[in-house]
């Protein structure tokens, strides 16, 4: 069995089980040094390796990386082709590192939109890493949250029409069953790089109560120290989920809670 030695940093507060990252700023990173955008993507792939390894070593249970959005298909054909080639190379080259770190890779998104060879490579990497018992690495590929919700709704409607689902019983748990990955718990911490303060159609349902952290550096410069900064910030957060801070456990209610 493959699993790294877990060394969890202690910032005196909670540690996120599931981290989601919007990896942004590859193009800007390259342009800032007079290089073409694709060089930023290449360097960004290196960051993916470093951050995946760090998270696995720290005992993060799930890491979801926004690698390519449904909207990204609108980019110039050359850039899209480059990204697809890079993806395929990454999925082959990273296998030994993923295996060494006990990482199980899965994709979420409209992966059928990927070029056939990239999809085949993706399925093979999912298969090869499928038995690993360490961290789950979810790559969001051709992913869009509105697309995911529309796809889910299609499934709901089909099952309702087939008599498999009673519309009156539909609740939040039903909806979840029709999402791309109904099993993995919601992200606790959502990080975005390159200083941008938006979600760009990422995990809108699942990130309802995620804690947000925006790093100013572009993705190629996001390193272990940056990750630790995000974790330190997370450790200071108070998560309430709409409730109150010091909600009293079972059996006690003083009627005067703060929060």
User: x/- site string to ligand IPE, residues 5 to 24, per CB under 6 A?
Assistant: -----------------xxx
Measured in whole angstroms, how far is the alpha carbon of residue 42 from the centre of its chain? 19
Nearer to Mg ion, 24 or 188 (CB): 24
- Give strand pairing partners of 105: 137
CB of 200 to Mg ion, least distance (A): 8
CB of 78 to ligand IPE, least distance (A): 13
Distance from C-alpha of 223 to C-alpha of 217, rounded to nearest angstrom: 9
**Residue nearest Mg ion (C-beta atom):** 24
Instruction: Determine whether the annotation assigns residue 145 to a binding site.
Output: no
Binding partner of residue 200 among Mg ion, ligand IPE, none, CB under 5 to 8 Å per kind?
A: ligand IPE
Restricted to residues 59-118, the positions that interact with ligand IPE (CB under 6 A) are 66-69, 72, 83
Catalytic residues: 24, 72
Nearer to Mg ion, 24 or 94 (CB): 24
Task: Give yes or no for residue 40 binding Mg ion (CB under 5 A).
Answer: no
Restricted to residues 227-256, the positions that interact with ligand IPE (CB under 6 A) are none
Nearer to ligand IPE, 139 or 156 (CB): 139
| Core vs surface per residue 70-108: b (16+ CB within 10 A) or e | bebeebeeeeeebbbebbbebbeebbeebeebbbbbbbb
Distance from C-alpha of 44 to C-alpha of 78, rounded to nearest angstrom: 17
Task: Give yes or no for residue 22 binding Mg ion (CB under 5 A).
Answer: no
Element (H or E) spanning 84, and its range?
Answer: helix 77-93
Per the CB < 8 A criterion, the answer to whether 23 and 48 are in contact is yes
| Strand order across the beta sheet in which 136-143 lies | 104-108, 136-143, 62-69, 18-22, 189-192, 211-214
CB of 24 to Mg ion, least distance (A): 4
Per the CB < 8 A criterion, the answer to whether 128 and 95 are in contact is yes
Using CB under 6 A, list all residues that contact ligand IPE: 22-28, 66-69, 72, 83, 194, 196, 198, 200
Using CB under 5 A, list all residues that contact Mg ion: 24
């Amino acid at each position: 069995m493959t699993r790294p030695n877990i060394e969890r940093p202690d910032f005196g507060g909670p540690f996120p089980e599931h981290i989601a990252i919007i990896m942004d700023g590859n193009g800007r990173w390259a342009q800032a040094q007079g290089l073409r955008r694709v060089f930023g993507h290449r360097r960004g792939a290196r960051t993916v390796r470093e951050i995946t390894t760090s998270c696995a070593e720290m005992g993060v249970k799930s890491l979801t990386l926004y690698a390519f959005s449904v909207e990204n298909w609108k980019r110039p054909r050359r850039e899209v082709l480059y990204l697809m080639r890079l993806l395929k190379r990454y999925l082959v080259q990273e296998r030994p590192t993923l295996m060494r770190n006990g990482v199980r890779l899965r994709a979420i998104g409209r992966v059928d939109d990927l070029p056939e060879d990239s999809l085949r490579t993706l399925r093979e990497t999912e298969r090869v890493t499928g038995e690993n018992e360490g961290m789950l690495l979810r790559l969001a590929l051709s992913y869009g949250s509105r697309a995911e919700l529309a796809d889910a709704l299609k499934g709901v409607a089909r099952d309702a029409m087939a008599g498999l689902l009673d519309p009156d019983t539909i609740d939040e748990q039903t909806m979840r069953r029709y999402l791309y990955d109904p099993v993995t718990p919601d992200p606790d911490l959502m990080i975005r790089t390159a200083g941008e303060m938006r979600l760009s159609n990422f995990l809108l349902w699942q990130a309802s109560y995620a804690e947000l952290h925006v790093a100013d550096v572009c993705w190629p410069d996001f390193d272990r120290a940056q990750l630790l900064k995000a974790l330190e910030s997370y450790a200071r957060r108070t998560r309430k989920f709409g409730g109150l801070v010091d909600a009293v456990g079972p059996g006690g209610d003083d009627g005067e809670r703060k929060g």
